[in-house]
Structure 1
Amino acid sequence: MGKQGHIVSFLREQDGVGIVEIILILVVLISLVIIFKKQLTSLVNSILGKITSQSNSI
């Protein structure tokens, strides 16, 4: 098999496709977290504040 045959067989392999999909999903999720960091932080802080205040009243 020549050089072209190796390239064609490499392009036809599907082994690495799952890994690439997982990496792309992680990149999208991390990007969303970075974009909405301020909103997520305020949401978590308000939820934890409500939990703390309601647990103190018990």
Structure 2
Amino acid sequence: MSSINKIFLFLKNEEGVTAIEYALIAALVAVVIIATVTSMGTKVQGTFNAVDAALP
């Protein structure tokens, strides 16, 4: 097999591209989850502080 054929087959192979796409999607999902949990955590903490202040 010649070098040109090997290069062509390497460029045509899309398995690595799919793995990278899945990794990027997983990273994006992780960022969204972290942002959501952080935002909700701040709101929940504020609610607990308000309840704590209202109790005698």
TM-score of the pair, normalised by structure 1: 0.48
Which structure's CA Rg is the greater one? 2
TM-score of the pair, normalised by structure 2: 0.49
The structure whose RCO (Cα within 8 Å, separation 6+) is larger is 1
